[in-house]
């Protein structure tokens, strides 16, 4: 594994896990209860705390905003009959949300790190995920965090390839899907 990943592997995995709570077969954060379980599983929420509907809505804003950022780290989307898989308002909503989730530089830790200001447990957890973005940028790993180029997928993945050129979450699934479509187009235009 490249040394640059090292200490931030857990951070990268957390971002990928969070973005991939929306799957082709449904939304893993469809209810406040599901968000609560996800946050507990990832040790981001005190055991006694629970998410409510507002917290769940903010979590979805954060997730779709992160997906939009990861899509920008990838190549242009392919031409596809499927919907884009990105929420057009996601970037704006993420901007609004990040203004409501302030982070502070904790200079008592070595090295200094961003920590959430909010005492509200779910906002605190979501701010940790925002801080993960800054951690990844600082580690130089951010450009390799991508959302799949296939519009019907938009699954998040970390590009471990040597040339940083990976564009599909899985060549076997989305890469092949695109190849099949291209072959169909060639047949119909012949
Ligand atoms: Zn994909």
Domains of the chain: 6-189 (1.10.3300)
Radius of gyration of the chain (CA): 18
Q: Which of the four pLDDT bands, split at 50, 70 and 90, describes residue 6? A: very low
User: Tell me: the pLDDT tens digits for 77-116?
Assistant: 888 888 899 999 999 999 999 999 999 999 999 989 999 9
Residue 190: what pLDDT? 64
Percent of the chain at pLDDT above 70? 95
CA of 89 to the centre of ligand 1 (A): 21
Report CA 26 to chain centroid distance, whole Å: 16
Cis peptide bond prior to 111, omega within 30° of 0: yes
CB 18 within 8 A of CB 41: no
CA of 80 to the centre of ligand 1 (A): 12
User: Tell me: the pLDDT tens digits for 47-72?
Assistant: 999 999 999 999 999 999 999 999 99
Distance (Å, rounded) from C-alpha 99 to C-alpha 95?
A: 6
Indicate whether 4 pLDDT > 50: no
Residue 122, number of CB atoms within 10 A of its CB: 23
Indicate whether 137 pLDDT > 50: yes
CB 95 within 8 A of CB 66: no
Q: Which residues contact 58 (CB under 8 A, 6 or more apart)?
A: 97, 100, 122, 123, 126
CA of 146 to the centre of ligand 1 (A): 10
CA of 36 to the centre of ligand 1 (A): 27
CA of 71 to the centre of ligand 1 (A): 11
CA of 154 to the centre of ligand 1 (A): 6
CA of 167 to the centre of ligand 1 (A): 9
Indicate whether 34 pLDDT > 90: yes
Indicate whether 1 pLDDT > 70: no
């Amino acid at each position: 594994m490249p040394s640059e990943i090292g200490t931030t592997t857990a951070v990268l995995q957390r971002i990928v896990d969070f973005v991939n709570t929306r799957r082709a077969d449904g939304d893993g954060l469809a209810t406040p209860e599901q968000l609560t379980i996800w946050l507990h599983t990832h040790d981001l929420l005190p055991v006694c705390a629970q998410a409510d509907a507002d917290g769940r809505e903010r979590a979805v804003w954060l997730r779709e905003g992160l997906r939009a950022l990861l899509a920008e780290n990838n190549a242009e989307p392919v031409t596809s009959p499927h919907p884009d898989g990105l929420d057009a308002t996601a970037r704006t909503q993420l901007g609004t949300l990040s203004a409501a989730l302030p982070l502070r530089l904790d200079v008592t830790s070595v090295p200094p790190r961003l920590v959430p200001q909010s005492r509200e447990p779910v906002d605190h957890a979501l701010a940790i995920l925002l801080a993960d973005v800054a951690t990844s940028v600082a580690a130089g790993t951010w450009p390799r965090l991508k959302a799949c180029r296939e519009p019907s997928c938009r699954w998040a993945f970390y590009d471990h390839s040597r040339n940083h050129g990976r564009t599909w979450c899985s060549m076997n699934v989305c890469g092949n899907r695109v190849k099949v479509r291209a072959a169909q187009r060639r047949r119909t235009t012949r």
